Amino acid sequence: MKFAKHWYKKEVVADANSLGLERVTIWGASNQSVEEAERHASQRVEKFQAALKADFSRRDEYEYWLGFVREEVLEELKDADDNLVAVVSRNNYGAKVLNSQSMLIGDIDVPELGLFSRILQILGRQRRDKQYFLAKIERYQQLNPDYTFKVYETHSGLRFIIINQLFSAGDQIVDTIFDALEVDTLYRRLCTAQNCFRARLTPKPWRLGLNRPASRYPRSNIEQREFEQWLRSYQSASVQVSIVNEITTVGYGAVHNDIKRALALHDQSTLGISKPLA
């Protein structure tokens, strides 16, 4: 996992024609000191300027250069040997996220039906809905009985957690599982970039009728006060919804000792009774 305690930012001149901005903020990060974060920022400025000369033009790639996740750390979970195994952070749109070092989590987005898909369905093609993907998980587990899946319904699809084995986001077997179960492409990209598995614990603000926060972490004093006002509204609205509904457990393996705390935190934070999913 790639979280940092200290941050430092530098402003650099950019090419408005390629990036759409005249200035870009470059962040440096460190778990040791602000001074080390400043040195990291300076190093990244040099790399950024070199990349511009090489016709770098994709702003969406910039975030993956950081080497650290630019999210506020809210809670750390450690094992009996004091090793960090999971982190709860707050993402750029204000939601809490569970980041797990070794508890495999997968998100599956159910595609919306377009006109062509509706025509195929009329002609007899099986509908790719939540039940379709649940059946896919069940078939995969039958072929791989060493895995035990806990499966949840989300607002737009399914979430699964393998509860009886440990994984690393860089493992080849993770790609195999994600390919077989059609895990969301953007989610897979985040797992790879941040070297962990992630699960959102609180709602997306626009599903509550709220805008995103106006600023990103780390914030200035003024930005922090504005964010805390936003957060009070967000937390008040969040109690009206759930993030997931538990559907089933597929397989018979017991929960691995090293993921019990992370799994319990996930379920306590996300499950609700008779509440809409958001």
Domain boundaries, the chain: 1-70, 71-270
Q: What is the mean pLDDT of the chain?
A: 87
Q: What is the pLDDT of residues 53-101, one digit of tens each?
A: 544 444 444 444 456 788 999 999 998 888 899 999 999 999 999 999 9
pLDDT of residue 176: 98
What single-letter DSSP state applies at residue 125? P
For tokens 């699964």, the residue is: 160
3-state SS string over 191-220?
Answer: HHHHCCEEEECCCCHHHHCCCCCCCCCCCC
Bridge partners for 277 per DSSP = 242
Contact indicator for 153, 130 with CB cutoff of 8 Å = yes
pLDDT of residue 61: 40
> In 3D, which of 1, 59, 68 has the Cα closest to residue 41?
68
- In the chain, which residues have pLDDT < 70? 14-22, 50-67, 113-125
Q: Give Dmax (Cα) for the chain.
A: 64
> In 3D, which of 269, 259, 278, 268 has the Cα closest to residue 102?
259
Predicted structure pTM score: 0.79
Q: What is the pLDDT of residues 140-172, one digit of tens each?
A: 999 999 999 999 999 999 999 999 999 999 899
